[in-house]
Amino acid sequence: MRSTTLRRWSFVHTWTSLICTLFLLLLALTGLPLIFHHEIEHLLGEAPQLRELPADSPRLSLQQLVEAAERHRPGEVVQYLGWEEDEPNGVVTIMAATAGTEPNSSHTFMLDARSGEAVAMPAANGGFMMLMLRLHVDLFAGLPGKLLLAFMGILFVVAIVSGVVLYAPFMRKLKFAEVRRDKSTRLRWLDLHNLIGIVTLTWALTVGVTGVISACADLLIEAWRGDTLAAMVEPYRDAPPLTQRAPADELLRIAGEAAPGMRPDFIAFPGTRFSSAHHYAVFMVGSTHLTSHLWTPVLIDARSLAVTAVGDRPWYMDALAMSQPLHFGDYGGRPMQILWALLDVLTIIVLGSGLYLWWVRRRAPRQALRDEVAA
């Protein structure tokens, strides 16, 4: 590589890394407990615990659950009802002052589908895990915070790519995984930085890119609302406001018939950002491993309960949906979680050693760079 080319790539690598390093350190540190959020919630006693009831206990209808929720939090409305695979007797319920209230002002709890009893989900509303989540997702700054972190993620990806380009000249005279231990601390850490950086490449790129996509979720959902959802509810554009809502009882049966072979993931109530002002939207997911991440909304007229549309999925909503497992590492059992945490710690070491290498090289940058490549 010519020395001007080398210097340019080195400049790109140095500055994209330096700008994003502090944010990436924060993301890597807060991400670590988030990998194990289920386990930590259980340890802290914050996981919802349903009462033991006979296995054949009858279940309440959906409308009875909605009414139980409204009794539990008078003056609020149900925004979403959701199902979790590891708690088949519970229904995750999200309520707020109005259907359109923004997510951070909502209240989340679980309803026992058999008794209608409300069970607290403290981790979903505050506390340590929520602190980690907010620091990881938006720095308590809403959309601007998310977009700032998305930009830092893009810088991180550029830093990774430029790092791979620089890997070649730095490794010209070295064997793979060769670490010069006895020359100087700086060379030892340079070799470690290069080695750990190159072996964690695929994982770091995957988590980086899917993180950027997730950070843009609000924009993608807005695009979906303006594009796909608007087209689906076009006939309702001039319809008068919804005054009488049909009971929710039959929603799952209706959605199941409209999207055979799929199972419900959540219901968005009329007026929320995942539905229109005139519809229940039942979000169905597929029954295979891969399609269980992909949502198909079934829009049901909230007055007549007729199916208005079964949604197509635009590619960017599929990308958003697939970004979730690939970012969280929650789809390959406990061993995958542990590896995710290990790779996260290794990324912290790459970030830290990069900062160190920049610091000690500042005094004689060009000379040192030549030495490193030639050594």
Partner 1 sequence: MRQSTFAIPVLLAVLGAAGLFAALLGDGGWDALAWLGLGLPALLGSWPLLRR
| Per CB under 8 A, 192 contacts partner 1 | yes
Within 8 A by CB and 6+ apart from 298, the residues are 254, 255, 258, 259, 281, 282, 283, 284, 307, 309, 310, 311
List the one residue from 45, 54, 240, 333 that touches partner 1 (CB under 8 A): 333
Of residues 271 through 290, those in contact with partner 1 by CB under 8 A are: 289-290
Tokens standing for 138? Answer: 């938006």
Residue in 342, 362, 364, 370 binding partner 1, rule: CB under 8 A = 342
State the Cα–Cα distance between residues 373 and 353, nearest whole angstrom: 18
Residue among 13, 107, 278, 293 that touches partner 1 (CB under 8 A): 293
| Phi, then psi, of 62 in degrees rounded to 5 | -60, -40
Location of structure tokens 């790129």: 205
355 binds partner 1 (CB under 8 A): no
The least CB distance from residue 100 to partner 1, in Å, is 34
Q: What's CA 45's distance to the chain center, in Å? A: 24
**What's the min distance (Å) between Cβ of 208 and partner 1?**
13
Report if residue 115 touches partner 1, rule: CB under 8 A: no
Choices 23-31, 52-60, 169-177, 232-240; region in contact with partner 1 by CB under 8 A = 169-177
Of 184, 154, 218, nearest to 23 by C-alpha is 154
By CB under 8 A, residue 214 contacts partner 1 = no
Residue 353 Cα distances to 18, 106, 335, angstroms: 12, 41, 27
Residue numbers 72-101 binding partner 1 by CB under 8 A: none
Nearer to partner 1, 74 or 333 (CB): 333
Closer Cβ to partner 1, 195 or 267, answer by number: 195
Question: How many other CB atoms sit within 10 Å of the CB of residue 59?
Answer: 14
- Which CB atom, from 9 or from 280, has the smaller least distance to partner 1? 9
Under the binding rule (CB under 8 A), the answer on residue 155 touching partner 1 is no
The CA distances from residue 127 to 30, 46, 121, 190, in Å, are 14, 9, 11, 40
Rounded Cα distance between 234 and 4, Å, is: 57
Using the rule CB under 8 A, is 266 a contact of partner 1? no
In the complex with partner 1, the residue whose CB is nearer, 15 or 167, is 167
The nearer residue to partner 1, 290 or 374, going by C-beta atoms, is 290
* Interface region with partner 1, contact rule CB under 8 A, candidates 90-98, 145-153, 197-205, 222-230: 197-205
Any contact of residue 71 with partner 1 (CB under 8 A)? no
Interaction between residue 158 and partner 1 (CB under 8 A): no
Note whether 202 binds partner 1 by CB under 8 A: yes
Query: In the complex, what is the shortest distance from the CB of residue 205 to partner 1, in angstroms, rounded to a whole number?
Result: 9
Q: Is residue 168 a contact point for partner 1 (CB under 8 A)? A: yes
Is residue 19 a contact partner of residue 155, using CB atoms and an 8 Å limit? Answer: yes
Please report how many Cα atoms fall inside a 13 Å half-sphere around the Cα of residue 264, on the Cβ side: 25
Angstrom distances, CA of residue 259 to CA of 67, 298, 306: 27, 8, 14
What tokens does 371 get? Answer: 């030495």
Q: What are phi and psi of 300, to 5 degrees?
A: -120, 125
332 binds partner 1 (CB under 8 A): yes
Which positions lie near partner 1, rule CB under 8 A? 167-168, 171-172, 175-179, 192, 195-196, 198-203, 206, 289-290, 293, 322, 325-326, 331-333, 335-336, 339-340, 342-343, 346, 349
